[in-house]
Amino acid sequence: MDFGNALDISAAGMKAQGARLRVIAENVANADSTATTPGGEPFRRKTILFQSEFDKALGAELVAIKGVQPDKSDFGRDFRPGHPAADAEGYVLTSNVNTLIEMTDMREAQRSYEANLRVMRTVRQMLEQTVSILR
């Protein structure tokens, strides 16, 4: 494997983790949303799916984004009888986003992104050392 391949593999990992961070940011931004009408649904948490793809040109497996799907877990219920979206019992559906889980996922994505960035920096340093040896 040459240096270019290592850079391409790390770039694919950074792209995947960047997409994951965008989904997490959307979840956090909508964590406090509620339904707007009685019986309506609030924001539903989203999760990103990854898959492994073989790149023939590189001869290596790369991570790719398979898609984004909604989290099927139950919504929360808050007792807010005066809310416009309250049902007959006075409960309002709230988002199924748990900010603690999102922050944990965000930290993991950040660490994965940084690990790929370190690989790219190391490859660059190795290339610089190779060029300096050849002078």
Query: What is the percent of the chain with per-residue pLDDT over 90, rounded to a whole number?
Result: 76
Task: Give residue 44's pLDDT.
Answer: 97
Confidence of residue 48 (pLDDT cuts 50, 70, 90): very high
What type of residue sits at position 9? I
* pLDDT tens-place string over residues 12-41: 999 999 999 999 999 999 999 998 888 889
Task: Give residue 97's pLDDT.
Answer: 97
Every domain of the chain and the residues it spans: 3-134
Contact 34, 95 (CB under 8 A): yes
* pLDDT tens-place string over residues 94-135: 999 999 999 999 999 999 999 999 999 999 999 899 889 988
Residues 6+ apart with CB under 8 A from 46: 23, 26, 27, 68, 69, 70, 71
Contact 10, 116 (CB under 8 A): yes
Res 49 pLDDT > 90: yes
Task: Give residue 51's pLDDT.
Answer: 95
Reported in sequence order, the residue ranges of 1-135 that DSSP labels E, i.e. its strands, are 46-55, 60-70, 76-79, 91-94
| Long-range contacts, stretch 87-91, CB < 8 angstroms, 24+ apart | 87/38, 87/39, 88/38
What is the rounded distance in angstroms from the CA atom of residue 85 to the CA atom of residue 35? 6
pTM of the model: 0.86
Task: Give residue 59's pLDDT.
Answer: 86
